[in-house]
Copies of this chain bind each other. A is one copy, B any other.
Amino acid sequence: MKHLQTFRFIESVMRAGSIRKAADDMNITASALNRRIQRFEEEFGAEIFERLPRGVRLNPAGELLVQHFRAQASDLRRVQSQVADLSGERRGHVSVACSQALSPYFLPAQIAAYRRDHPGVTFSVNIRDRAAAEQDLATFSSDLALVFEPVHLVDMEVLIAVPQPIHVLMQTDHPLARKAELRLRDCLDFPHLAPTEQYGVRALLDMAVAKGTRSIRPVAESDSFDFMRHYVRHEKAAIAFQIPIGLREESASGLIHRPLSARDCAPGTLYLGQMRGRTLPVASARFAQALARVLEGYK
């Protein structure tokens, strides 16, 4: 969309931190880019960049402006999507920011199911930790976020929330496997794997142990749930903490998992959300509806 060209340049300069670098990125001369920005600042009525000795940086006015342009670009995509929809095309693109747990089983299955009915719809799936997922919504770089234990929820409008107790993952013949529900103190006697602190699972575990005298001493700490899932196959006594939506049914995986007792560790919550107040493109809105229907079953 041509009338947003200047904005793309501004965003590029913002990212690059200097007009020359941005000009290089955008395949244009620094002089041309410089003058575009000057011209824009003039008609906008205020400077949007601070000129520093080593480059430029957005000033508060610029921050406001960038937020405005992002919202505007996002809304234009929505309009285009609606226009395509009213000509009966059923096309569009959905971008989802999600927690790692959703990536192996849940989202692939849901997206594939949705695409069976709407083959014209394409997807972007971006794995983000819980802080970044909300950020993605706020910058309009994702339409939807599917996040376990989000941090702020300020810019996020919750479409549906489902409880997800923490599960303990282990080999099928593990001593803990005999009980249907596990106590945290029993689990900590075994070598355990834990996510790093930016993840909701870890935050809940830390909160749980804070009440008692035990502590989390992971034999391995990782930001990859995939790694932790595979690790328990290789060390007989090892256990890992994950949420059930990121785990397969027992039979299929060769591992089993058991929930932690709610007495020890509060269940976390998985949220499906969008940017507050935003009207989503048709495709995204429909996919969100479909997800919500499925997630209802997890309540």
Contact = CB atoms under 8 A, between A and B. Distances in A.
A13 to B, nearest CB: 16
A45 B277 contact: no
A79 interface: yes
A65 interface: yes
A135 interface: no
Contacts of A83: 44-46, 60-61, 64-65
A72 interface: yes
Interface stretch (A1-9, A117-125, A203-211): A1-9
A66 to B, nearest CB: 10
Integer count of this chain's copies in the complex: 2
Q: Is the interface of A mostly helix, strand, loop or mixed?
A: helix
Contacts of A76: 68, 72
Interface string A53-84: 00000001100110010011001101110111
Contact of A86 (B2, B44, B61, B79): B61
A43 interface: yes
A44 B84 CA distance: 11
Contact of A3 (B4, B68, B80, B84): B4
Interface residues of A, number: 29
Contacts of A44: 1, 80, 83
A60 B75 contact: no
Contact of A68 (B65, B79, B87, B277): B79
A192 to B, nearest CB: 47
7 contacts: A1-B43, A3-B3, A44-B80, A45-B83, A46-B87, A60-B83, A68-B76
Given A61-B86, A68-B75, 14 more contacts: A1-B44, A3-B4, A44-B80, A45-B80, A45-B84, A46-B80, A46-B84, A60-B86, A61-B83, A65-B79, A68-B79, A71-B75, A72-B72, A72-B75
Interface of A: 1-7, 43-46, 60-61, 64-65, 68, 71-72, 75-76, 78-80, 82-84, 86-87, 277
